[in-house]
Amino acid sequence: MASNPVEYLPGKQPHPREHRMIFRNVDRAGWDASIDTYLNDGGYEMAKKALKMERQDIINEVKASGLRGRGGAGFPTGVKWGFIPPTNTKPVYLICNADESEPGTFKDRYILHQDPHQLIEGMIISAFAVKANLAYIYIREEFPHAATIVEKAIAEAKNKGFLGKAIFGSDFDLEIYVHRGAGAYICGEETGLIESLEGKRPYPRIKPPYFPAALGLYMSPTIVNNVESLCHVKHILQMGGAEYAKLGTPNNTGTRILCVSGDVQKPGYYEVQVGKVTMGEVINDLCGGLKPGRTLKAIIPGGSSAKVLKADETYKLKDGRELTIWDIPMDFDTMAACGSMAGSGGVMIMDDSRSMAWVINNLNKFYQHESCGQCTPCREGSPWMAKISDRIIAGNASPDDVDMLEQVANQIEGKTICAFGEAASWPTQSFVRKFRDEIKSMTKADLAGRIVNEETKLAVAGLEA
Amino acid sequence: MAGILKQNSPSSPPPPMSDAASAPAAKPPVDLVNVQINGTWHKLPKGMRMIEACRQVGASVPHYCYHPKLSSPGNCRMCLVEMGMPPRPQPGQEPEKDEHGMPKIGWMPRPVIACANTIGEGMGIKTEGKLTEECRRGVMEFLLANHPLDCPICDQAGECRLQEFSVEHGQAESRYREDKVKKPKNVDIGPRIRLDDERCIMCSRCIRFTAEIADDPVLGFTERGTHTTLAVHPGKRLENNYSLNTVDICPVGALTSNDFRFQMRVWFLSETNSVCTKCARGCNTEISARGDTVYRQSPRENNDVNSTWMCDQGRLDFHFVNSEYRLTDPMVKSDGKHAVTTWKEAIQSAASGLKGLGGDEIAIIASARMTNEELWLVKQLQQATGAKFIDVVPRSGGGDNYLRHDDRNPNSAGVRQILGIEPGAALDSIQRAVRSGLIKGVVALGENLLKCGFDKDSLGKLSVFVSTHILANATADLSTVVLPAASYAEKRGSMINATGRLQRLNKAVKSPGNARDDWEILNDLVSAISDQKSLGSVDEVFKQLAGSVTCFQGLTLASIGDLGRQVLETNETVPVLEREKERKAKGIIVG
Ligand SMILES: Cc1cc2nc3c(=O)[nH]c(=O)nc-3n(C[C@H](O)[C@H](O)[C@H](O)COP(=O)(O)O)c2cc1C
Ligand code: SF4
Ligand code: SF4
Ligand code: SF4
Ligand code: FES
């Protein structure tokens, strides 16, 4: 495959520990989002190759690659594709989830902005494999620029005969449409996304029975994959599933893009082999260490929904290993074993300048605002948590309120329609459990059981009603 | 826990059929699966919703959003229960068995909703226990967090699921110390309904009803999260003829009926099963009354007639029962003026008037709103007087693709069976004969003749004009004898609906003043004219009917039951029921 040597824009060179595959062309010198640039770089060869393959062989390659979804849940992509009922007679749809709305996550946007054809190529291969003739890219409303670029890319590909009828001279037809979201985090949840695509409110569906692979868009089998996941498919075909699986670590294969934000010297995106770098290496090597004179306090390792890790914790693993926060390899399984998740790859680093009560209040407010409001525990519980934490940071709460905050989270977790319930309650649960004393230190014992009204608020502020 | 294996019938027993010929073909065999509910194993039909399985074995699961006739969004989360399945055994290993020889259940750490999940072989369900109780307490606490709790002025109080489940699963004290979310109250969303958004628990039942049953999707949610607000779409109104069903299915006091609002606390009401008499559908109803005042009417489930719905027109047409224009005393006209009299004298006066006429001078205008028992007595009256002319007043129009039937009389089928006439067939010739003076005596039963083609002049010239009425009207004014009768809410009796189903009305309230039940009036009139023995009760009238008209054979008024009985073969179907059957077959609804 024609592959030109890759040079990067000044100051944007990848860190030597990175393994650029998906982000190979991000910040690349002389690179633009046009189809010609992509073709000059050997683009669309894998799509051509795929259309000559047996569908099952492609699915087998993806299974063999061990690719796990990069959207949050880390579900094996090949296995998901295999869930389409073999007896299906309805049309199959492929949806690219470009809603990227998990706080702390900023990877998909670079693919959309700088390398849209990589995504389209991945989607052609994936659509062919799952027998979808219609595919959608659901782009969040806050990415207007990305939508324009992707639409242009689709038009270019169509012009070349890479999309539309009988693509690459095969008998396979494929149309890809861009669908714009309407500004809600819940549109990233796959069944909410599907409802939104159908023109309705993005109310997530109950599962069972509405597993997308069987009853998805228009009640037809639908595969929803993240932008990054779909891009990986191209590379799996290029390398072969077995070869791809050698990247990363067993059961945690390939590369993934870490989006590091917070209190480090060089926050940003870093594509690394899954599990080949540790949290310590992320902070100290990739990101140039903590800010001067600061110490690590906490890390949210996989998007805002992931449970927080506390700097002084140690994690006992089943195989007997004992890890500190610095030793955790950035993979799916170890992160789960440490009680959190790799999620969407959004790593948020917090140093000792951060107030944990403030952080949890900030997160609670996000989830309060984004709860779709369909099911009771999340609709009523998320704002309650926000209001309690509001009072905590305002000094208008009692120590019992902190415990109650955790109990409210417990009443949400596992009882909702969609995983937003966990997304909203895990941060609270983990922050309160791990930083209870710190949070309680902001409360006043004599406020216990008091009705909160303007009077108490004023009294707390030292004023008379 | 008892080690019994219980066998349960797959669903509630089918409604009894009148004769073998109309019995359905044998039910297709249902696959039964073993399900353990609260420790006891049961055999239940595969694919049944967990919530229905639990209900069937007496372990009801509290719920808000679930409604068997609507799709299941699973949004309220009140029905969360503990669930387990036998773990898949390792290859070559036998599954572990419990003391009943059933596979041991591996309980899931997370609860599942009972409303939308279906049962499968070996499943275990716990509707009791720590996990389930915690879930219910949590959901109750959340539902009340932003609830206004205006129970003292809320029409739903007393029949509110929020109140009921609070008592059963909630806690006495609220831990919620924050400001509640403010939302619109007293919202005018349609001509018959008000919405209180603060009371709404966002179960979406009303939205689903308007979209799935009434094909009028005017309701929806706006805003999101805790600010989610039920609303009518801009420029739309909830005004279809089935709108008040949303008030019935709203589990709280968010949707209230303008008609019933603030009229009566529900705990003072007593309910009587009856049927609506506003069209030939005969929707099954419940009449709610306090003392002798009817306050509301609501649909009662009958899956062979009206599912669980009724139209607004039928529902709201009851206020005449308590009207100030009710006739309360029999009256006889002398010197052109009506004077109140006793029943004895009024009947005597009517009887002697009719006896003085020949059969070909008498017409009886009965009504297809009369019960079968009354119609049978009309038949007796016809025989006693020899009346040559007889008919009822037909009414038609207004049928729709839901429940409302084009025949606006509730008992045309009874008229055909008992009187042997086609409604309206003789009306023209009777009118002509009245006008020409051929007919000198008319008995009008519950019909305002001036509204159906008779004219004032010729009616005024009749020598005998006996009429029964509920309300004062111009026809009564013209009558020589006026007999105050009972409304449908004041009588027990039967009617046959458009699909050939015999159904029973029951007496919910007493008639006002000296007004009497129609069957008694007719019974007395027949005895006064002929020497026919007077019958002692409406049940006895039915007995006579059963002995003389084929379709009633072998039945008694009591045996009709609250859900009625199919007595005639008609090829009519009910549009709403047909669509529900389709949706049930697809598994969208339980039915
Ligand atoms: C509340 C919520 C928000 C989500 N947001 C996103 C998102 O923005 N982008 C995304 O790819 N997946 C998101 N997901 C995960 C999707 O539901 C889905 O699992 C994913 O798109 C599948 O793709 P993958 O298998 O390639 O990871 C979200 C899930 C939840 C519960
Ligand atoms: S968990 Fe929250 S976001 Fe998900 S369906 Fe329920 S209310 Fe909506
Ligand atoms: S809806 Fe129920 S709980 Fe709410 S105010 Fe009315 S009666 Fe009370
Ligand atoms: S108005 Fe009533 S039925 Fe409609 S969503 Fe609210 S609570 Fe449910
Ligand atoms: S009844 Fe509402 S979720 Fe089951």
Q: What residues form DSSP beta bridges with B249?
A: none
Q: Alpha-carbon distance B297 to B419, whole Å?
A: 30
Residue of A nearest to B117 (CA): A208
One DSSP character per residue, A230-292 reads: HHHHHHHHHH-HHHHTTSEETTEESEEEEEEEESBSS-EEEEEETTTSBHHHIIIIIT--BPT
Strand B337-340 to B123-126 pairing = unpaired
Ligand nearest to the CA of B197: 4
Q: What residues form DSSP beta bridges with A346?
A: A259
Q: Which CATH class is domain A356-460?
A: mainly alpha
Region B4-18 average pLDDT: 41
Q: Out of A206, A371, A416, whose CB is closest to B73?
A: A206
User: Taking CB atoms and an 8 Å limit, are A411 and B138 in contact across chains?
Assistant: yes
Instruction: Let me know if A131 is exposed, middle or buried by CB neighbors in 10 A (0-12, 13-18, 19+).
Output: middle
Q: Per-residue confidence of chain A (465 residues) as pLDDT tens digits?
A: 445 579 999 999 999 999 999 999 999 999 999 999 999 999 999 999 999 999 999 999 999 999 999 999 999 999 999 999 999 999 999 999 999 999 999 999 999 999 999 999 999 999 999 999 999 999 999 999 999 999 999 999 999 999 999 999 999 999 999 999 988 999 999 999 999 999 999 999 999 999 999 999 999 999 999 999 999 999 999 999 999 999 999 999 999 999 999 999 999 999 999 999 999 999 999 999 999 999 999 999 999 999 999 999 999 999 999 999 999 999 999 999 999 999 999 999 999 999 999 999 999 999 999 999 999 999 999 999 999 999 999 988 999 999 999 999 999 999 999 999 999 999 999 999 999 999 999 999 887 766 556 566 666 666 665
One DSSP character per residue, B413-462 reads: HHHHHHT---TTTTHHHHHHHHHHT---EEEEES--GGGTT--HHHHHT-
Region B339-351 average pLDDT: 98
A387 interfaces chain B, CB cutoff of 8 Å: yes
pLDDT at position B91 is 84
- The residue of B226, B228, B583 whose CB has the most chain A CBs within 10 angstroms, and thus the best one to mutate to test that interface, is B226
Please report, rounded to a whole number, the percentage of residues in chain B having pLDDT higher than 90.
90
Q: Alpha-carbon distance A460 to A172, whole Å?
A: 69
* Residues B264-284 pLDDT 10s: 999 999 999 999 999 999 999
Residue of A nearest to B142 (CA): A380
Ligand nearest to the CA of B267: 3
- Binding-face residues of B in 449-478 toward A, CB within 8 A: none
pLDDT at position B531 is 86
Please report, rounded to a whole number, the percentage of residues in chain B having pLDDT higher than 70.
95
A415 interfaces chain B, CB cutoff of 8 Å: yes
Q: Give the minimum alpha-carbon distance from A214 to chain B in angstroms, rounded to a whole number.
A: 15
Contacts of A273 (CB under 8 A, 6+ apart): A19, A247, A248, A249, A254, A255
Residue of B nearest to A397 (CA): B177
Work out the mean pLDDT of chain B and round it to a whole number. 94
What are the domain boundaries of chain A? 35-246, 255-351, 356-460
Cβ of B65 closer than 6 Å to ligand 4, yes or no, is no
Tokens of B586: 């697809």
Q: Does residue B220 sit in helix, strand or coil?
A: strand
- Ligand 3 centre and the CA of A143: distance in Å? 44
Cβ of B79 closer than 6 Å to ligand 5, yes or no, is yes
Q: Are A358 and B119 in contact (CB under 8 A)?
A: no
Residue of B nearest to A202 (CA): B224
Region B219-244 average pLDDT: 98
User: Taking CB atoms and an 8 Å limit, are A388 and B178 in contact across chains?
Assistant: yes
A386 interfaces chain B, CB cutoff of 8 Å: no
pLDDT at position A446 is 80
Domains and CATH numbers, chain B: 32-128 (3.10.20.740), 149-160+167-322 (3.30.70.20), 331-489+505-536 (3.40.50.740)
B456 pLDDT higher than 80: yes
Q: Is residue B129 very low, low, confident or very high in pLDDT (cuts 50, 70, 90)? A: very high
Q: What is the dihedral of CA A259, A261, A264, A269, to 10 degrees?
A: 20
Q: Give the minimum alpha-carbon distance from A370 to chain B in angstroms, rounded to a whole number.
A: 7
pLDDT at position A456 is 60
User: Taking CB atoms and an 8 Å limit, are B142 and A374 in contact across chains?
Assistant: no
Q: Are A269 and A291 in contact (CB under 8 A)?
A: no
Q: Are B170 and B140 in contact (CB under 8 A)?
A: yes
pLDDT at position B280 is 98
pLDDT at position B21 is 40
Query: Which CATH number is A35-246 given?
Result: 3.40.50.11540
B207 pLDDT higher than 90: yes
Helices in B146-240 by DSSP H: which ranges? 161-169, 205-208
A384 interfaces chain B, CB cutoff of 8 Å: yes
Cβ of A382 closer than 6 Å to ligand 2, yes or no, is no
The candidate with the shortest Cα–Cα distance to A150, out of A190, A110, A183, is A110
pLDDT at position B29 is 67
Residue to probe by mutation, ligand 3, list B196, B252, B262, B267, most atoms within 8 Å of CB: B252
B179 interfaces chain A, CB cutoff of 8 Å: yes
pLDDT at position A451 is 57
Q: Give the minimum alpha-carbon distance from A218 to chain B in angstroms, rounded to a whole number.
A: 15
Atom 8 (ligand 4) nearest CA: B203
pLDDT at position A455 is 60
Q: Out of B80, B227, B228, whose CB is closest to A415?
A: B80
Output the CA angle A203-A207-A209, nearest 5 degrees: 110
Q: Give the minimum alpha-carbon distance from A452 to chain B in angstroms, rounded to a whole number.
A: 6
Q: Is residue B532 very low, low, confident or very high in pLDDT (cuts 50, 70, 90)? A: confident
pLDDT at position B12 is 41
B13 pLDDT higher than 90: no
Query: What's the pTM?
Result: 0.94
Q: Out of B75, B135, B221, whose CB is closest to A375?
A: B75
* Residues B481-497 pLDDT 10s: 999 999 999 999 999 99
* Residues B237-247 pLDDT 10s: 999 999 999 99
Cβ of B219 closer than 6 Å to ligand 4, yes or no, is no
User: Taking CB atoms and an 8 Å limit, are A381 and B142 in contact across chains?
Assistant: yes
Cβ of A416 closer than 6 Å to ligand 2, yes or no, is yes
CATH 3.10.20.600: does it fit domain A255-351?
A: yes
Q: Which residues of A touch B226 (CB under 8 A)?
A: 368, 371, 373, 379-380, 382-383
* Residues B541-569 pLDDT 10s: 999 999 999 999 999 999 999 999 999 99
